[in-house]
Amino acid sequence: MPIPATDTTTVRFRVSPRCVVIVRDDDRRWQPLADVLMSTFVVRLAANESELKAHLVPIERVACVCVVTDGHRLRDVHETFVRAGGAPERLVFVSEHDTASAESLDAMSRVVRRLASL
């Protein structure tokens, strides 16, 4: 006897959302970038390398790291990311120009989405 469709169990597999970590300080405009990325990714904020390291677990869920800071040595951010197992090409250094307009924010969003798809 066949089982009616209404009695079957539906199993859904949900893919864990990808995460973007923004390394930022209060002297740079980072909020517009976070707002744009939140429509697609889970956005985490890091104010230092220790916070960055905490957000890199599990590393396979990290789409990329956006660096919007003048207060941290870029070499230290790079080293922290690579030591956690991140690919250096997933680091995105964000300039003042990249957050200055809707067009530039859209361009940054496309870059992050492209990295997430790799």
The answer to whether 19 touches 42, Cβ cutoff 8 Å, is yes
Q: Could you report the per-residue pLDDT of 47-59, keeping only the tens digit for each?
A: 999 999 999 999 9
Distance CA 71, CA 4 (A): 63
The confidence score (pLDDT) of residue 13 equals 45
CATH number assigned to the domain comprising residue 36: 3.40.50
Q: What is the number of domains present in the chain?
A: 1
What domain range includes position 104?
18-117
The residue assigned the tokens 């405009």 is 29
Answer whether residue 107 is part of any domain.
yes
The answer as to whether 28 is a domain residue is: yes
In-domain check, residue 99:
yes
4, part of any domain: no
9 in a structural domain: no
Q: What's the confidence (pLDDT) of residue 4?
A: 53
Which pTM does this prediction carry?
A: 0.82
Residues with pLDDT less than 70, the chain? 1-16
Within a domain: 41? yes
- Of the candidates 43, 59, 52, 57, which has an alpha carbon nearest to the alpha carbon of residue 108? 43
Would you call the peptide bond into 58 cis, given omega within 30 degrees of 0 as the criterion?
Answer: yes
* Domain assignment present for 5: no
1 located within any domain = no
**Residue the block writes with tokens 């790799």:** 118
